[in-house]
Structure 1
């Protein structure tokens, strides 16, 4: 699929996959740039599971130049459970060579069997609070599309980096940082999960900090268009993290030009706050412009981002 070709590839491994250098060299030859290694499952007083291959998988992945992340399979039934699981994960991850600069993932597929959405969401937040206190700064949540939409309250999560599993589909089905699109990638005769990374969270060493648009603009560089929208001149590049409509005007009622895919790169020359959104103006040649919303706005201030600026 064209969308997959646009992004960097990474795999995730557990005890089912090899821990040999040969395996990771084979993955590297396929263009795989990163790996997420299963470290633990449950807690020291509960399931007490540690992936016996984790240390070698981390070592050999680093040796071939892959970006290494780690994940924990959550089995908590309460907030105290979640905290204990986080402490267990942190201890074992550091012991096996996972750097605090690595991305830490919580795999949420079997927790909170009561189907209590609020309780599970609180447990995930408690897990990340412990991970954050231990010095890790990059965190993400893994689950399938159905769980993200029905079993977790995404808007109440303290971490908004989603890695979504959805097989046999044309997309992840929701905005996300990464999409696991197959569990059947063969690497050195071993079935392996494979994903695409849209923003470098699992495949790049250093993520650039998101640049916020300056709010103070010189008065001689602003104007009002024929829709009554006040624009401020600014040159820049925006990279979307979801599909966004490109329109002929800075209104949600304006005619659509095209649907820009996640990962689209847009060069713009001005921005505006209009109708509860922050809009960018894209020069299209011959005096024409396209307009796209890039996040929500309240009282003239941006409240979220639908991508990043560079």
Structure 2
């Protein structure tokens, strides 16, 4: 088995060249408006250190095809050289719990590149990505024992069904995300190259470059959850305590609890079965959501400007 470290902008830059590891997996993008500013730095350092390489996209839960396009457009210079992966987690992911989101993403990546990305997911949430098991390898997070501050790996004796086995096991994240990779160097390079059969694949020309999120072309659109959104710029002032969430659902995780009198700038609204939500633009191409009106009674929880 090979040893792998995964890194993002907040990681110490030295992690990318850790002498104990064989592979460096680097966060490249998130959503449709964020490129890791240290992606190139870590890539160059790891490559110069002789590491095998990987690049991953953190799912924001917007339109899956647009996120796949954004990922590949940002890392097209590295396609064929790095194993690609999708990071599927609940935090900052508006589509968490939507079981067909990853399938749409990986299909689009394969269409563009001929490469099937790995799927990163906690072992407890494998059911959300199970429909990718026929084409994609599994990068599973499972801390099955006391997390060692070392490479003291004790194996992965747990179910990953419907996969027969994992490709990567992230077994500790206490001080460093350590992973054991269930292949050899040649196998990793084959995963990076994919099947080479995509008509959309092209010779890459540029390294990842931060770009601004593209503006919404249409005034009304449907998101990945099937909700209809209407573009509208405004400011909402609450008259009661409200929850700012990562998704337009009562079950979505909370970003913050807003006290009465809070002002929220928004760029769109949607009427659900229970509430009317507004969408607050946030950094890195992400959005927050606030329920501002009872959809059944019409009662507003503040005023609009």
Provide TM-score, normalisation by structure 2.
0.52
Q: Which has the higher contact order (CA 8 A, sep 6+)?
A: 2
C-alpha distance after superposition, 1:47-85 (max 9, x if no partner): x111110011111111111111100011225xxx00111
Shift of 1:202: 9.5
Out of 7, 12, 30, the residue aligned to residue 13 of structure 1 is 7
User: Which sits farther off after the overlay, 169-178 or 140-149?
Assistant: 169-178
CA–CA distance in structure 2, aligned partners of residues 115 and 141 of structure 1 = 14
Give, in angstroms, the shift of residue 89 of structure 1: 0.7
Distance apart, 1:16 and its partner CA: 1.3
Report the counterpart of residue 58 of structure 1 in structure 2. Answer: 43
Deviation readout 1:79-111 (Å, 9 max, x if unpaired): xx00111111111112xx423342110000127
Identify the residue that residue 244 of structure 1 maps to in structure 2: none
Q: Structure 1 residue aligned with 2:56, among 71, 75, 78?
A: 71
**1:30-45 to 2 correspondences below 5 Å:** 30=20, 32-43=21-32
* Alpha-carbon RMSD: 2.8
CA contact (8 A) 2:109 2:116 kept: no
Shift in CA distance, 172/90, structure 1 to aligned 2, threshold 3 Å: farther
Give matches, 1:1-310, under 5 Å. 7-19=1-13, 23-25=15-17, 27-28=18-19, 30=20, 32-43=21-32, 48-77=33-62, 81-94=63-76, 97-110=77-90, 113=94, 116=97, 120-149=98-127, 152-155=128-131, 157-169=133-145, 171=156, 173=158, 174=160, 175-184=165-174, 191-200=175-184, 204-206=188-190
Shift of 1:36: 0.9
Contact 2:61 2:94 in 1 (8 A): no
**Structure 1 residues 192-201 or 153-162, which shifts more?**
153-162
Q: 1:129 to 1:208 in 2, by over 3 A?
A: closer
Question: Whose strand proportion is higher, 1 or 2?
Answer: 1
- Name 1:285's counterpart in structure 2: none
1:85 and 1:75 map into 2 onto residues whose CA distance is 8
Preserved contact between residue 164 and residue 172 of structure 1 (Cα < 8 Å):
no
Return the offset for 1:205: 2.8
